[in-house]
Structure 1
Amino acid sequence: MKKDIKFSTRMASADREKIRALAAKAHMSMSDYVTACCLGKRIIVIDEQKELLRQLKGIGSNINRLTVLANMGKVQVIGLEKTAGELSEVSAALRSVMEGR
């Protein structure tokens, strides 16, 4: 959406710095951050994003390897308990973040 109006407000410099830091943490401009907050939009910042993505990538790689081995007929019985547990942990972490805990 085009930004066609300038809106200014007065605030304490400490508050402005806090808002600037929060906007930076969310990878947003101050304008976008303040607009989103004022319109009641949820802003979720995932600090552990790299770790969660690494875990998901690892789970996907494991599943792909097992699928290849199964298609080659080299694997008859596959124990997916560890993979299912890891996927459950990642899912719980994502759910926790989305619920704002």
Structure 2
Amino acid sequence: MRRRNTTIAIRCTEEESRRIHELADRHGLRLNDFIMRCALGKKIVVANGIDEIVRQQKAIGRNLNQIATLANMDRLTAVNFQPLLDEHRKFTELIGRLLREVK
């Protein structure tokens, strides 16, 4: 585990401080993490909509689980999985694109 045990203090104007805090908030990062990423030249990506994608993936997973349970109970004889698999594939590709962008 990485330990941050060194402090770097900087001076800035009230306006600069306000802007830095505002940017950190806009990126959804704590001030320390935002400043570290900026100072080390790391790319900062805001992934708007990721919560909706994850929610959709979870819903599809629940549906697949329910179908598998019914099939195991012999309560289903034939199921057309294609629409569900197509939706799952679409959201999986979206997540993959976002992850590649973040790296």
Q: TM-score when scaled to structure 2?
A: 0.74
| Residues 2-17 of structure 1 aligned to structure 2 (within 5 Å) | 2-8=4-10, 10=12, 13=15, 17=19
Higher mean alpha-carbon deviation, 37-46 vs 85-94, is at 37-46
Higher mean alpha-carbon deviation, 82-91 vs 41-50, is at 41-50
Contact in 2 for aligned 1:44/1:97 (Cα 8 Å):
no
Percentage of pairs with the same residue: 24
How far, CA to CA, are the matches of 1:14 and 1:8 in structure 2? 11
Letter in 1 for 2:87: E
How far, CA to CA, are the matches of 1:100 and 1:9 in structure 2? 33
Unaligned stretches of 5+ residues in structure 2: none
Unaligned stretches of 5+ residues in structure 1: none
Q: 1:68 Cα deviation (Å)?
A: 0.9
Q: 1:90 Cα deviation (Å)?
A: 0.8
Higher mean alpha-carbon deviation, 85-94 vs 30-39, is at 30-39
Q: How many residues align?
A: 100
Letter in 1 for 2:7: I
Higher relative CO (Cα under 8 Å, sequence separation at least 6) belongs to 2
Q: 1:45 Cα deviation (Å)?
A: 2.8
- In the other structure, the counterpart of 1:51 is 52
Q: Secondary structure at the match of 1:60?
A: helix
Cα 1:16/1:99, change in 2 over 3 Å: farther
Q: TM-score when scaled to structure 1?
A: 0.75
How far, CA to CA, are the matches of 1:43 and 1:59 in structure 2? 30
How far, CA to CA, are the matches of 2:57 and 2:86 in structure 1? 12
- In the other structure, the counterpart of 1:98 is 99
